[in-house]
Structure formats: structure tokens, C-alpha cells
Amino acid sequence: MEKQRLDKFISNQLGLARNLAKTQIHRGKVTLDGEIVRDPSKIFDAETGKVTYKGEPVSYRKYLYILMNKPKGCLSATEDKRKETVLDLIPENMKRNGLFPVGRLDKDTTGLLIITDDGDFAHKCISPSKNISKTYIATLDGELKEDMIDVFEKGVTLADGTLCKPAKLTILDKNIAELTIYEGKYHQIKRMFGTLGLGVNELNRKSIGALELPKDLKQGDCTILSEEDLALIYE
């Protein structure tokens, strides 16, 4: 049972400002179990109550999990006065209050990014202790060597002395690699390759755990993750 105020429910589920939700309720735009309700403070069971807004049903989700194919040049942030953020790209029908990106992808890094309002889930995803893999495709400005595989497997020591967890490097072409890491230090992949004298020209995250970026999801587009999708992260 999930008891909520009606205005809070409308605000959270539809991404409306709380004052706007109250106004719309006062105007009779919201029904609960088939009856118009004009009291924003009405308490009801969000899991069982049938709510409509302007005639359209409002589905209850305690938390929302969005998968985005992050485009280049977009910030992994909730807001920025000058630059476009990943939250700016979320379609109106997916927006709600409290959303934030899980971890960070650099401005010019593309690929799989999860956006949610579930803080516990986000902590599990980014905590090194959970050992959840993140796999990237990196295009480099120099040639890869076979002995670099062993360097990554043993754990790269960054220029400032920070030791990274062992990582899996797979050479796909002379300057293209697939890299799987189990943590997310600041600019980690660029810094790891930097210790080998290589710069990263392009970086794309393809998966978290066994959850892969859908091949038909265009950059900047989003999709809602199901419980089955989320379970793949922990495989």
C-alpha cells in the first residue's frame, strides 16, 4: 500500500510543478476511481487507485528507469544554464520530478546512460563494491599492442598513483578496443589509456552488466526499462 496526496501523485507521475498539479485538480481535470476530485490534499492508495488527468489514465510507477542513447555534446547533469543536459532530451511523456543520471558520461562520450529517481538503485550501479561491469568501445589516436591486454588485466596505475581494478581489454582493430571496467573513476578510461601514451578520440558505452544498448535506439532517444531489463544489470 502506497498512500499519497493526490497533488503529489499527479506532480510526480506527470512531471508537473506541484502548484500546477494543485491548480489542475481544483479545475476538475483529475478523477479518482471515476469521480472528479477537487481536493489536492486527498489521500489515496497510489497502487490501487484509478487516476485520470484530462481524461487520460495516469499509471503509477514508484520509480522510473529510463535508458538513453546519450549523444555527443550533452552533459550528464540534471541542469545547466548554458549547456544542454540529458534531462532536456527526455520526452514529455517520460518526464517526472526527481530524475537524475546514474553516474556520468563525459560530454563527448556517447551510449548507454540510465536516468532514474531511485537513489538506492543508482548507488548499487555505480558502487565499485557491487562489481557491476561497464563495457565501452574506444577509438584511439594510436596503435594498440597485445601486451596492453596484460597491463589492463593486472590493474592500471594512473598518473597520480591511483590503482584501478583489473579490466578486460579486447583489441577489435589496430586503434579500436572494447574495454570492460568495474568502477567509474573520474575520466578513468581516458586516464588509463593515457598511461600507455594513447589518447581517446571517441568513446561509446555499449552495456552495463548484461544490459546492452539497443541497436535501433538512435542517439538522443529514450526507452523505459522493465524489471526484466534491470535484472540484466546484475548478471
Domain boundaries, the chain: 3-57, 65-125+215-233, 133-208
In whole angstroms, what is the distance from residue 153 CA to residue 165 CA? 8
* H-assigned helices in the chain: 6-14, 18-26, 119-126, 147-154, 188-194, 227-233
Closest residue by Cα to residue 219 from 66, 72, 65: 72
Of 7, 39, 106, 147, the active-site residue reads: 106
pLDDT at 93: 81
Per-residue pLDDT of the chain (235 residues; tens, 9 = 90+): 789 999 999 998 888 889 999 999 999 999 999 999 999 999 999 999 999 999 999 989 899 999 999 999 999 999 888 899 999 999 988 888 899 999 989 999 999 999 999 999 999 999 989 999 999 999 999 999 999 999 999 999 999 999 999 999 999 999 999 999 999 899 999 999 999 999 999 999 999 999 999 999 999 999 999 999 999 999 8
CATH of domain 65-125+215-233: 3.30.70.580
Q: Whole-model pTM?
A: 0.86
Domain at 3-57, CATH from 3.10.290.10, 3.30.70.520, 3.90.1420.10, 3.90.1300.10 = 3.10.290.10
CA distances from 72 to 97, 190, 203 (A): 25, 16, 10
pLDDT at 235: 83
pLDDT at 123: 94
pLDDT at 106: 92
Q: 139, 172 in Cβ contact below 8 A?
A: no
Strand 200-208 versus strand 110-116 pairing type: parallel
Q: Does domain 133-208 have CATH number 3.20.20.70?
A: no
Same fold, 65-125+215-233 and 133-208: yes
Active site residue 117: no
